[in-house]
Structures are given as structure tokens and as C-alpha cells.
Amino acid sequence: MAQPAPSGLIIIDKPQGVTSFDAVAAVRGALHIKKVGHAGTLDPMATGALVIAFGHATRLLNAIVEHDKTYEATIRLGLGTTTDDAEGELDVTSGEGARTVTGVTQDEIRAAIADHFTGDIEQVPNTFSAIKINGKRAYDLAREGKDVELKARPVHISEFAVLAVRQGYVAGERAGELLREAVDWHATADSSGPTTSAVPIAVAASSAPPIPVLDVDVRVSCSSGTYIRALARDLGAELGVGGHLIRLHRTRVGRFALPDDTSGLIGDEAMAATRDHTVTAHSESKTFTNRDGETVTRNKCVLDTPAELSGEERREWLLGRALTMEQAARGAMPALDITPDEAAELRFGRRIERVIGEPTVAIVPQTHDVVAILERANVHQAKPATVFPAE
């Protein structure tokens, strides 16, 4: 009899330059499993924690998507872009307000964050986002040159910490330029500005004067659906100087984190385990001829597995790094330990005498059997909403 396909989660440290779907494709190819998905898209520009589920664990993704998240990012104040990140075109006029970025202090940045971007806030998503408007993605409408108006939506920001600030200059030729002649401003509670002043320098191959900017390193813990790009845009607008995102690294999705997470929201034991369950990856360019005969080059995601492994050995190595179905389920939602008899009832679609207040996963702890996702039936009973087959 054929062995059942394995189920579980792998935490991929996604590299820059590839899509989340590219990472899913890499896992699917390595595990030889069709049923693979991820819990929350990271843009190609972004790096970090991408929770990828395979087998029956894909049924847990809807719950994991709703978990809060932690990001480390760099916001560039002084310039905006059409997409609010380094992928768009520079909007030089966004920094041409009544004040210049050189007059912005760390105290002002912190005060603006505390007053306007912490706790429960209303946020207007980015025009270039995956939100659907009448069945079409907002970014598709924006690329077609159509006006896109998105309504503000509630999000929760539990932490928005300034880690460091650097002052410098850019030529203003493209988004994501390296900072020139930066003055390090390591964030301290009582610091209000740089200890030395920066002098504008001539920027090579540019006749235009250099543009002063501030690069602000931040850590943000927030609810699902929060756009860090929008925080960068809105912080720049609040300060009157413009702003956009130039770096984004996700370190945590709910209880699933990378070893470099510094949110403090993951317990010591769980943090130690992250090293065993994280798989790094890198991007490689691939050139091919498409159906129209055109030569196309694009990046693909390559998992960092031991070089000497291939085929079944590589697959087994990846499965050894994965979280089991039970570990995945307990991390995805509240768990309820049940008896084998209750498991049998649930698999027949029957209710059990248990009190729950929210979707809960039912597990037989002695056998590590993940039985079902339960919903509240009434005040004293729970019913199965999703049933997993016995393995």
C-alpha cells in the first residue's frame, strides 16, 4: 500500500528578487508534493519568514494568514515613490514641502510614530497592492493608468520602534540608491539629532544637487493586513518630507519565527527551535525562450540544501527540517487534547461534548493525531468544520 503523502510546515527565509510563488514552487519540486501553499505573500523586494505548508497542513493556512507579524525595515524620509517602496519611480516633489528632512529630529520621528502610528489606526493601503476592486487587482488597475481609490481599513500596531537613523544624500536618479556620506545616528532614548553635520557632496554623473534623506531602521509588530509601505508613506507625510520603504525583512508570523527575530514575542524554547526548522534560500537567474520566441531572464528560488544531497536524500533532509502536522497545528491555532473515542466521533461528523469559544484544532496527544478543526456548535458542544484523515 502506498505511503500517505507527508504533511507539515517549512519556514523559508525568502531571498530578495523572487516571488512567494517561486519559493512555493521550489518546495513543491524538492518534496515532490502537489499540495503546497504559503501563509502570506512577501513582495519580491522583501525577504524573510515565509510559512509554507504541504499536504494536509495547507488547511491550516487560513488561520496562519491572520496571525500578527513582525518586520524589520528601513524607511527613507525625504522622498516618496509611486509605489511607496524602492520598486517604484521617485516622486521628487514629495520632499518639496515647507521643511527639509535635515530639520527632522529623532524625537520628532518618535513622537509622530507614538501619536499617529501606534495602537489601533486607520490605514489606506497602497495603490500598488493585491487588493481586489470589482474583481481586479489594484496594482493591475494602477499599471493600466486608471485611478485607484482604496478605503482606509483598521489595523493594529503593537510596536513601532526606531532602531537607528542615518543621515545622508542621494542623487535622486532612482529609488533604492545607496546612501552617500551617511552620518550614523544610533537611536537612543534622549538623542534628538546627529552629533556631526553632513556636508553636501557632488554626486557622480549627476548635474542636479544631491538630495538630503534620512534612512530610519525600524521594527514593527502589527496585525495581519498592515502595509509597511503605507506606514513609510504616511510617516513621511506626517513629518512633511515624504517617505518610502527601501528594505523589508519579515522575522515572525504568529508563533513561527526566524532565528534573527528580536520581537521578544517568541519564548526562549521556541526561538531555539527556529534554527532547526528554518531553511534559507537564494535566487539564481534563469534564461529561457518563451512561446513567442523571446529570450526571457527571470529569477528562481533555490533552497539551500546540502550540496552533496539530491533526489530522495534531499527530500528527506527537507522533511527533517519541517514542523510536523501536530507542531504546525498547535502553532496555527488553539489546541484541544481529545480522546481516541472523541476522535472517532469527529471523523464520523458528530459533535463532542466540549466547550470552545473560537476555531480550535483537536488532537489526540498520545498518538499525535491531528483530527479536526472544531467550531462552536452550542454552549456545551463543538462540531467538526474540517476533518483530517487518520495517518
- Active-site residue numbers? 43
Q: Could you give the CA distance from residue 104 to residue 85 in angstroms, rounded to a whole number?
A: 21
Residue 67 in grid coordinates = 496571525
CB 324 within 8 A of CB 8: yes
Q: Could you give the residue ranges of the DSSP H alpha helices within the chain?
A: 20-31, 61-65, 106-116, 138-143, 228-239, 268-277, 311-321, 325-332, 340-347
DSSP 127-195: SSSS-EETTEEHHHHHHTT-------EEEEEEEEEEEEEEEEEE-SSSTTPPPEEEEEEE--TT--S-S
For residue 281, the SS3 value is strand
Q: Could you give the CA distance from residue 327 to residue 277 in angstroms, rounded to a whole number?
A: 11
CB 280 within 8 A of CB 302: no
DSSP 331-353: HHS-EEE--HHHHHHHHTT--BS
CB 119 within 8 A of CB 238: no
